[in-house]
Amino acid sequence: MSHLSAETPTQQWENTILQAMAKHTHLQDDLYFAELKRTIARELFNTGLDLASRRQIAHNIYNKTRGLDVLQPLMDDPSVTEIMVNGPQTIFYEQDGQLLRSKLSFNDDNHLHDFIIGLFSRCNRNLSLSQPIADARLADGTRANAVIPPAAPTGPILTLRKFTGVKHSPEALLASGFITEAMLYYLKKQVLGKKSVFICGGTGTGKTTLLNVLSNYLPKAERIITIEDSAELQLVGQENLVSLEARQAGPDGIGGIDIQQLLRASLRMRPDRIIIGEVRGAEAADLMQAMNTGHPGALCTGHGNSCADMFERLSNLVLEGSRLPFIAIRRILANCIDTLVHISRQPNGSRKVDEIVEVSWGEENRPIFKEIYTLTDHCTNE
């Protein structure tokens, strides 16, 4: 049985319209949608379809060609923060901190595969048998990761982290229980005092959210340089602001720009303050050197299960890009990093700052983590 014979009348009509619209792919979104409605009116004139059905076909086709196909309803829902596609019929999403299973589905593996290839092609990212893993940023800021066979033997996998564009205020973080007033006041003093602050936690815990809020405490007279994999920081009121963004290499393997290159370039731009969206590679050694040679007050995030774990992770990252003895690296880091902040996701899905420590180097040749606030401070604040 052919694939075409299994199609419903609606699917056949949509395919007819898609073929007719192929010559209009160059149009901007608003002009494309206007042409789409005209094409539907012309091509489906004698089908007897009512106006509501034609409108539904128009939206289906637009979502396939310019939107996110069957995932568009999840993209349109502002309460959904992440979308996880494990297979054509297995789609999960995060809403208000909870993972839920969606009733949406793709037709089959081919439908999902073609959608992913098309989505990444729109972002000038190549996915193929030889390059089965790719990251991309969509036009609205959403971060996408895809893995296709052979790296994903059971079928294509897609993960989307939406960029909400919401500018979180200190008041919003306090109201949600994310942080206490005392914690926020302490961190504000650290920023104003040009202390270096590292924020750590797991994926999706709100590291960038807190970094955004703290960044807006920066003195307006400072020259700020932000360095990110994907531009997410939203600094308000900073006139002397330079934003740098990493770039993946093209299909030919050239043209990539990593965080380490951007950090080295930023040091030649006379920064008063350097903000790094995430420290996770060789740039850690350059950052340590910068903080140790006249560039205090860095604000950064990283992945760590606790403040102590983040310190150890940074130490190992520096070790990979430095010839210094490990004990020397740890001592320098302890003298460069003033404050470590850890954020965790609670069993009910909420996110909270659960640990703030000050870092110093002890007489016993080991780092000392002075506990300033812990998760119990949330309870005493309630």
Q: Using one digit for the tens of pLDDT, what is the confidence trace for 294-327? A: 999 999 999 999 999 999 999 999 999 899 999 9
Position 380 scores a pLDDT of 58
Which residues are CB-contacts of 14 (< 8 A; sequence separation ≥ 6)?
57, 60, 61, 64
pLDDT category at 3 given cuts 50, 70, 90 is: very low
Q: Using one digit for the tens of pLDDT, what is the confidence trace for 90-132? A: 999 999 778 999 999 999 999 999 999 989 988 888 898 888 9
Cis amide linkage into residue 150, ω under 30° from 0:
yes
- Other CB atoms within 10 Å distance of the CB of residue 35: 15
- CA distances 209 to 204, 232, 300, Å, are 10, 9, 12
Position 108 scores a pLDDT of 93
Q: Average pLDDT of the chain?
A: 89
Q: Rounded to whole angstroms, how far apart are CA atoms 118 and 127?
A: 10
Position 5 scores a pLDDT of 45
Position 80 scores a pLDDT of 93
The residue ranges of every structural domain in the chain are 4-65, 69-161, 170-381
345 or 47, which is more confident: 345
Position 58 scores a pLDDT of 80
Total count of residues recorded for the chain: 382
Position 153 scores a pLDDT of 95
Backbone angles phi, psi at 260, to 5 degrees: -60, -45
Residue among 136, 133, 120 at smallest CA distance from 246: 136
What percentage of residues in the chain have a pLDDT greater than 90?
61
Q: Rounded to whole angstroms, how far apart are CA atoms 138 and 76?
A: 14
pLDDT category at 75 given cuts 50, 70, 90 is: very high
pLDDT category at 247 given cuts 50, 70, 90 is: confident
Q: Rounded to whole angstroms, how far apart are CA atoms 218 and 381?
A: 26
Position 2 scores a pLDDT of 40
Judged by average pLDDT, the poorest of 16-25, 77-86, 295-304 is 16-25
Residues in a beta bridge with 84: 92, 159
Position 251 scores a pLDDT of 67
Q: Rounded to whole angstroms, how far apart are CA atoms 154 and 152?
A: 6
pLDDT category at 7 given cuts 50, 70, 90 is: low
pTM: 0.78
Q: Rounded to whole angstroms, how far apart are CA atoms 11 and 33?
A: 19
- Is the domain defined by 69-161 classed in CATH 3.30.450.370? yes
pLDDT category at 6 given cuts 50, 70, 90 is: low
Position 379 scores a pLDDT of 66
Is the pLDDT score of 188 beyond 70?
yes
107 or 51, which is more confident: 107
Q: Is the dihedral of CA 353, 180, 186, 263 positive or negative?
A: positive
Q: Rounded to whole angstroms, how far apart are CA atoms 343 and 351?
A: 7
- Other CB atoms within 10 Å distance of the CB of residue 82: 18
- Specify the 3-state DSSP secondary structure of 229: coil
Judged by average pLDDT, the poorest of 57-61, 267-271, 306-310 is 57-61
The CATH class, in words, for 170-381 is alpha beta
Identify the DSSP state of 5: G
Is the pLDDT score of 42 beyond 60?
yes
- In order, the DSSP letters of 62-81 are HHHHTS-GGGHHHHH-TTEE
Q: Rounded to whole angstroms, how far apart are CA atoms 85 and 104?
A: 10
**One fold for 69-161 and 170-381:** no
Q: Using one digit for the tens of pLDDT, what is the confidence trace for 216-229? A: 899 999 999 999 98
Residue 196 zone, left/alpha/beta (φ > 0; ψ -120 to 50; rest): beta
- Other CB atoms within 10 Å distance of the CB of residue 237: 8
- In order, the DSSP letters of 21-47 are HGGGTTS-HHHHHHHHHHHHHHHTTTS
pLDDT category at 141 given cuts 50, 70, 90 is: confident
Supply 175's token pair. 């109201």
